[in-house]
Chains A and B, each alone.
Chain A
Amino acid sequence: MPGLATAILAYTPFIDPVSTLWPGAYSSPWFVNVYCLALISLLTSVAYKALRVPDLSGPLARAMSVFARHVLIMAVQIFFGVLGLGLLTHVLVFHIVPHIAPA
């Protein structure tokens, strides 16, 4: 793995896009469908639930435990909701539309 180690050492975050570290990121369905979607779901949930959870008072551990549960539920909803919409779009474009209007 010397190539990977060199790439990681040479990587300058914010300046090189992640494609420098992972050249296949352009075309890998895992990049968008899993890594980016999971990250965006989680961070969006953190920011949104920080505004919506009514009570963050009390002992820190208990408050963060309640907050984390809210965040996890919302993140899972976004993740599988977007994957479901993607699946529906796939079915529509590749199966239903060709059936209605064959080429």
Chain B
Amino acid sequence: MTTTSPERTPVANGFHPLTGVLALALPGLGHLALGQIRRGALVAFGILGLFFSGLFIGGIDAVDKEEDTLWFFGQAPVGVVTFATNYIHQTRFKGADPNLRGAPRRMAGPNESINAQGVIVPGGNPPVQRSLSRVHDMGILFTVIAGLLNVLAAIDAAFPPLNRKA
């Protein structure tokens, strides 16, 4: 007698736009929606591992839509995580410069801090240390590779191969 496990059922091929969009929203979510639990978990581990390793190495400064716009295009496919990181970076770790009206918000430099109104004031310590040189490069590289790999994952989730198991 043979038994058929649900995991061994080949995945139907075709075009699945919803799973592609889900994969772009959060790494691994598209494969989870296809019922490929293990594959989705491994994709999420790899891509989010790369993204958060980049943040560990380069700090939150590795994701900056205003100052590293071109790199942000590469990071954006990681989805909600990238946009949330950028939002926190822009709103919590940058302040308005009172000497430059209308200028974009910037990070506080050495011997500056950001007050409760989000204005950069002299004295104190900045809330975040800007990453420089190789550390910054590595942070950006990790996060951009995570984004580009998630594009592959989204294409794979939208066009799942026929002969795949679990």
Contacts and interface: CB of A to CB of B under 8 A. Distances in A.
B34 interface: no
A57 B8 contact: yes
Interface stretch (A1-9, A36-44, A85-93, A94-102): A36-44
Given A17-B129, A17-B139, A57-B8, A50 B55 contact: no
A13 B161 CA distance: 38
Interface residues of B, number: 47
16 contacts: A17-B136, A18-B135, A20-B129, A25-B135, A26-B132, A27-B134, A47-B50, A47-B153, A50-B43, A51-B43, A51-B156, A54-B164, A56-B36, A56-B42, A58-B5, A67-B42
Contacts of B119: none
Contacts, number: 119
Contacts of A31: 134-135, 138
B49 interface: yes
Nearest to A52: B156
A66 to B, nearest CB: 11
A97 to B, nearest CB: 24
Nearest to A64: B38
Given A15-B60, A39-B53, A47-B43, A32 B134 contact: yes
Given A51-B39, A51-B156, A67-B42, A56 B166 contact: yes
Interface residues of A, number: 33
B55 A44 contact: no
A17 B135 contact: yes
A77 B59 CA distance: 29
Contact of A46 (B8, B45, B52, B166): B45
A50 B42 contact: yes
